[in-house]
Amino acid sequence: MSCRIVVLISGSGTNLQALIDNLAVPDSPARIVGVISNKADAYGLQRAGAAGIPFDTLNHRDFIDRESFDRALQQQIDAFQPDLVLLAGFMRILTPGFVTHYRGRLLNIHPSLLPKHKGLQTHQRALDAGDAEHGATVHFVTEELDGGPLILQGRVQITPGQEAASLAAEVQQLEYRLYPLAARWFAAGRLQLNDDRACFDGNPIPPSGLRLEDLESGI
Ligand code: GAR
């Protein structure tokens, strides 16, 4: 039976599009059964609609606090009966109750080489820090913001004088390879969160995550 995925978004949804395209093939191990946005005008909702995927909006401003929004969000997600929930540019801090409910089946993609540059403005911050490399990370979500066990990282070299926009574009292209790969691994039963350790094929993943370039070069 194929893995049922719900994707949470807040914006343009280019990562959602990459997931849709990658998984919309014969014999796909997973399918996206629902997309939820906390913003009604998120362009990603149009992407979901165009792909024939049911979508919903839940505006956080309609709720008095974070807990009540997250409870309603959880109900909306669970109506889709997901095996896996993917945060794809979902710009909300999640409550411990929500994160605990989806423990081991909630992933995020973050535009930096975690644990560097948690939070926002990651591309400019990598440049300001004088980093030689930058990238993106897929990780299990736990209570610590952008702090859960790392699964997979992809890196790009920063070139002298590079600007944030061009760095962001390079990192985004990486993200479109990283997230579908991790989703496929999960769907195939290859990824687990055991205690606080991410595991791949039953083996603990190093704290810095697997490296896309190692996988591609066959190391
Ligand atoms: C992506 O770059 C993703 O890594 C980032 O938001 C962007 C969403 O783009 N997520 C975060 O910063 C979460 N902390 P998209 O809507 O086009 O997929």
**So what's the pLDDT on residue 219?**
72
In tens, the pLDDT along 99-141 reads: 999 999 999 999 999 999 999 999 999 999 999 999 999 999 9
Q: How many domains does the chain have?
A: 1
| Long-range interactions of 109-113: CB distance < 8 A, separation 24+ | 109/15, 109/136, 109/137, 109/138, 109/175, 109/178, 109/179, 110/136, 110/137, 110/139, 110/146, 111/136, 111/168, 111/171, 111/172, 111/175, 112/136, 112/137, 113/137, 113/153, 113/155
**So what's the pLDDT on residue 10?**
98
Tokens representing 196? 């606080």
Domain ranges, residue 194: 3-217
**So what's the pLDDT on residue 64?**
97
The CA 110 to ligand 1 mean position distance, Å, reads 7
117 included as an active-site residue = no
The CA 10 to ligand 1 mean position distance, Å, reads 9
**Tell me, what CATH number does 65's domain have?**
3.40.50.170
In tens, the pLDDT along 80-108 reads: 999 999 999 999 999 999 999 999 999 99
Which residue numbers in the chain have pLDDT < 50? none
Residue 16 CA, closest ligand 1 atom number: 18
